[in-house]
Chains A and B, each alone.
Chain A
Amino acid sequence: MDQLHQLTITQAYSLLRSKEITSRELTRSVLDRIARINSKVNAFITICEDSAMARAAMADERIQSGNGGPLTGIPISVKDVLCTRGIRTTCASKILEDFVPPYDAAVVEKLNNAGTVMVGKVNMDEFAMGSSNENSGFMITKNPWDVSRIPGGSSGGSAVSVSADMCLGSIGSDTGGSIRQPASHCSVAGLKPTYGRVSRYGLVAFASSLDQIGPIGKCVSDCAILMNALAGYDPKDSTSVNIPVPDYSDLPENGLKGVKIGIPKEYEAAEGLAPDVSAAVDRAVVTLEKLGAEKVSVSLPHTRYAVAAYYVIAPSEASSNLARYDGVKYGFRDPAAENLIGMYKQTRSNGFGKEVKRRIIIGTYCLSAGYYDAYYGKASQVRTMIMEDFKRAFTHCDAILSPVAPEPPFRIGEKTDDPLTMYLSDIFTLSANLAGIPGISIPCGFSGDGLPIGLQIMGKHFDEHGILKIASEFERATDFNTKKPDI
């Protein structure tokens, strides 16, 4: 077997357990794949060859002694927004270019304990601000389905590394769609859990009331297996919620009888929705109906205000969170300045990229004296109304269906001069962050040009298991997730 890197986590687990393969062989295959194609797609910022092989050897011993679990010996990538002890964590920003965290993020510790083999840290938009990976301070990650196109963002490196078989699964973060949109653009599965379901300890903060960590996988059950490791209360994150964690990987083939799928009428009427995307989502609804689901029409009347509310709240929180990068305790410092204030300014001006500066300025403006009520206050009230829309809709249905992105992945450079147009492409994903609900993106088709299209399934607070079940039934009934990019 020489194509081990193509395995899913589920397949690899079975081969590792039956001792047909070793984690060292599997990890070697993944590292070789990275060496062959990383220069074509720029997915990895840091490749951890030595530590990965050492961990693979440890995993093999653990499996040999009968103490392995579903993730033991599985090679994964981690978005460079999560702190990894002793391994550089850059957030794709020059300001953290040489930052080596002295501690592991809670999820990294959990994954290490589960026996995963981290093969490297993957690229992203700087500080997770972006929808295309074009805002990385280092390089632009490319879509393996068409390298002239964006992979989506901000977890673009995560989605690409999974899609191009440079790992078996990845961990990303999602503040306005940053797991779901790149998953959609790269034809893989990506889950944003409920706010509070996964500890954010050790996640470099962007917008703290919206950020959530989640898995990206080659199939729905791989996401479920990763979720089993990620989920759970952590006293070190005061916003993590202490309620029981189900076994997400329990995904029996029961059909969808009795399941009500809500279709928001506002989404059907959304501006800029590409015909190919709309048609693929319509076909997905038919597939779900054939599986027994009942389609119901729901209304989310404040949908059209979601982008505006988000682009007040997220930059406001970011401007506050990013105040910590001052060149004093860690990260880049501009050595030229003569006094403290000058050092702050030069460090931040030369350390941050354009989009980060733009958002810090918007956020600082929205929070400044005289504007706070008009912007942040107002947006926070509209956020309440968006949340209530979902609450009402969920009294009529079990899950809500929508596109993930309004169009298939666009060309690199196409939208960089127009940040507002870029922001508007987040319309289908960011409501879930404002409302704190879970959402998953799964492959549901291809455009006329062969570009991936994703389907979003959103659920009630803490009903990740419910949307995973629907997603897995859909996946079993279709073959979109088995198609691979030719790279």
Chain B
Amino acid sequence: MAKITRDEVLNVANLARLQITDSETELFAGQIADILTYIDMLNQVDTEGVTPTSHAVPMTNAFREDEETGHLNRDKALENAPEKEDGMFLVPKIIS
């Protein structure tokens, strides 16, 4: 495996909504290929039948009572918005 092409870097960057420059693409492709080559050592480990861990401390679902608690009011929630209008977040045109 490993070896990531410039096109793959561009494709993944696009999936992550990043627009990267040509020089960044070049730099990242090399560095990420090195990192992925290193990561390939995981294939040396026999993990047949091993349960994956997504959580370091065992736990089941965290339930709580369905009770009303405090919340941010609309003005507070909008306070940090780069643009807002009439009590709503404002974004550029979605369909062009």
- B57 adjacent to A461 (CB under 8 Å): yes
Binding site for B on A (CB under 8 A): 98-100, 102-103, 194-196, 209-210, 235, 238-239, 241, 302, 304-305, 307-309, 311-312, 319, 323, 326-333, 337-346, 348-349, 352, 354, 357-358, 360-362, 364-365, 368, 374-375, 377-385, 387, 419-420, 423, 433-437, 461
Q: Provide a sorted-by-A list of 29 A–B residue pairs whose CB atoms are within 8 angstroms.
A: A102-B80, A194-B57, A195-B56, A210-B56, A239-B55, A312-B39, A328-B82, A333-B83, A338-B93, A342-B92, A345-B17, A348-B19, A358-B32, A361-B18, A365-B12, A365-B36, A374-B1, A379-B39, A380-B52, A381-B45, A381-B50, A381-B52, A382-B45, A384-B51, A385-B47, A420-B38, A423-B35, A433-B56, A435-B56
Binding site for A on B (CB under 8 A): 1, 4, 8-9, 12-13, 15-20, 24, 28, 31-32, 34-36, 38-45, 47, 50-57, 59, 62, 64, 72, 76-77, 79-83, 89, 91-94, 96
- A365 adjacent to B4 (CB under 8 Å): yes
Q: How far is the CB of A96 from chain B (nearest CB, A)?
A: 9
- B77 adjacent to A241 (CB under 8 Å): no
A-B interface contact total, Cβ < 8 Å: 175
Q: Is the interface of B mostly helix, strand, loop or mixed?
A: loop
- A436 adjacent to B56 (CB under 8 Å): yes
Name the A residues within 8 Å of B59 (CB-CB).
196, 239, 241
Given contacts A383-B52, A436-B57, contact A345 B19 (CB under 8 A): yes
- B18 adjacent to A195 (CB under 8 Å): no
- B52 adjacent to A344 (CB under 8 Å): no
A419-B33 Cα distance, complex, nearest whole Å: 11
- A332 adjacent to B82 (CB under 8 Å): yes
Name the B residues within 8 Å of A305 (CB-CB).
41-42, 44-45
Most chain B C-beta atoms within 10 Å of own C-beta, residue among A210, A241, A302, A380: A380
- A383 adjacent to B82 (CB under 8 Å): no
Q: Which residue of A lies closest to B62 (CB)?
A: A238
- A420 adjacent to B12 (CB under 8 Å): no
- B17 adjacent to A341 (CB under 8 Å): yes
